[in-house]
Chains A and B, each alone.
Chain A
Amino acid sequence: MERISALMDGELDDGEAVQEFKRCGGDATLVEGWATYHLIGDVLRQEAALGTGFNDRLREALAAEPTVLAPRPRNLQRRARLFALSAAAGIAGVLAVGWLAYFNHPASLDAGAGQVAEADSSMNEYLVAHHEYADSASMPSVTPYVRYVNEIRREGAMSR
């Protein structure tokens, strides 16, 4: 037991420590002693005490516990991406607090395509027709005709 105490206090050299661990492995009394010394240490340091025999009680409790048949997470990768999305939305939400201030200094929204040519005026008619028909053919992702009314602002004097 003295050697266990010395092991705990870090008084054994590497070789002796390894030997002591091996001895512990085969002797229940020594293992219990190791646990008791730790318990004494915890109590002296006023840390929460688990009591002796905690190991046995934990093992018994686990054995009595019903097996939890948890469904597998459907798609961890998707979950991770969703988390990234909500994180991004969180940041965007902070921006939205200063809605008017933000709109007074509109940063160009990034469509993500990089350096792509801006549509020329020959597209006007197509864009108007697209908003007029296509938006109402789908689940409204903005209120119907919102894109349309904004598209026809650009139409007019110059194209007629």
Chain B
Amino acid sequence: MKSVCLRWAGGLAVGTALAASTYADQLQDTDALAWLQKIAGAARQLSYEGTFVYQHGDMVETSKIIHMVDGASEYEKLSTLDGPPREVIRNNEEVLSYYPEIKTVRAEKRAGKRTFPALPPELLTNITEHYDVRRGDVERVAGFDAQALVLEPRDGFRYGHKFWAEIGSGLLLKARMFGERHQVIEQFAFTQLKIGGKISLDEVRSSYQSEQDKWKHDRFASNDAKDSDSGWVIKNQPAGFRKVYEMRRSKQGGGAQLLTHIVLTDGLAAVSVFIEPSSLKQKVNEGPAQHGAINIYTRIVGEQRVTVLGETPAATVAQIANSLAPRGR
């Protein structure tokens, strides 16, 4: 009798708990979306400086970042703290990369302002369509209280993510990317950070400013040709991925040869498609390859070398590469 009664009570309790948690999850979904918006804006709209660790593949790297916002202008200085010294100075859409041991500056300027100060609503909708977004616990990262968010992919074309955002500002303090078996593929975390406070322009200038005039300057320009398309189509695009850039850009080492670069994203994971004439001199390794958290797939289509790469499972880049074709064929 007693056991019958306990089972009854237990059943009722489980039923009630299930109903309550379903309701709570639905509430959390809208809440989690607000967090995504907050994270997307924070990295660009806040001033901060800190040191972070980044791990991908078997590489672990430490760098320092200073990010300063002055009205509508964004300045950023990134410097590596281990390995070869590198410095990236960014002012809005202009990026200067310094390679001190070979006295070279690489300058890239984009045509048009195409970065997003806030997450566009359609990208947000795309994220929720293809990932299950949930709020996790509040945890401590780099001395701050951080809200955890879990983004679980709804299919095999993308990886899962876990974000830890500073509870007040939404700045991303830590992030992990998970593979198909929930193994960690890439992680990033601040180990020391200061949010806000006054940052002067001098702090976001290059340390090599006084000597850079004597250095070699490599200039790159990209021409965003989204409206005038490259003549290539992806016939079997993996669900959720949409084209955000299509451009022709100059190649490293100069020359008249141009490279087509198409960028697709599902709102979170980005895939790049590169198309250029395959030269007879250079041997091309067709098929899949890997680089840290990135999967790559290379194919020769006619006279062209097609390379697709991104922070996605191998199946995603392979499907895009195998369905790329010149329009009308």
Residues of A within 8 A of B (CB): 35, 38, 42, 47-48, 50, 54-55, 58, 68, 70-74, 78, 81-82, 84-86, 88-89, 92-93, 96, 99, 103, 106-113, 116-120, 122-123, 125-127, 129-130, 132-150, 152-153, 155-157, 159-160
Q: Which of B19, B114, B188 contacts A143 (CB 8 A)?
A: B188
The residues of B that contact A113 with a CB separation of less than 8 Å are 288, 290, 295, 313-314
The residues of A that contact B175 with a CB separation of less than 8 Å are 141-142
Nearest first, the 8 closest Cβ-Cβ pairs linking A and B are A134-B270, A70-B19, A108-B58, A119-B291, A112-B179, A88-B182, A130-B272, A142-B188
Contact with A along B293-316 (1 / 0, CB 8 A): 111100000000001011101100
Contact (Cβ within 8 A) A84 B182: yes
The residues of B that contact A140 with a CB separation of less than 8 Å are 39-40, 43, 172
Q: In the complex, A142 Cα to B268 Cα: how many Å?
A: 10
Q: In the complex, A50 Cα to B1 Cα: how many Å?
A: 9
Contact (Cβ within 8 A) A68 B188: no
- B204-212, B229-237, B243-251: which one contacts chain A? B243-251
Q: In the complex, A96 Cα to B55 Cα: how many Å?
A: 12
What would 6 more interface pairs be, CB under 8 Å, given A135-B270, A142-B188? A54-B1, A112-B183, A122-B284, A129-B274, A143-B65, A147-B54
Contact (Cβ within 8 A) B251 A117: no
Q: In the complex, A131 Cα to B112 Cα: how many Å?
A: 18
Instruction: Please report which residues of chain B, range 83-142, place their CB below 8 angstroms from some CB of chain A when the two chains form the complex.
Output: 83-84, 86, 88, 90, 95, 97, 99, 101-102, 104, 106, 108, 110, 114-116, 119, 123-124, 127, 132, 134, 136, 139
Contact (Cβ within 8 A) B86 A149: yes
Instruction: Please report which residues of chain B, range 30-62, place their CB below 8 angstroms from some CB of chain A when the two chains form the complex.
Output: 36, 39-40, 43-44, 52-61
Contact (Cβ within 8 A) B289 A111: no
Shortest distance between the CB of A85 and any CB in chain B (Å)? 5
The residues of A that contact B228 with a CB separation of less than 8 Å are none
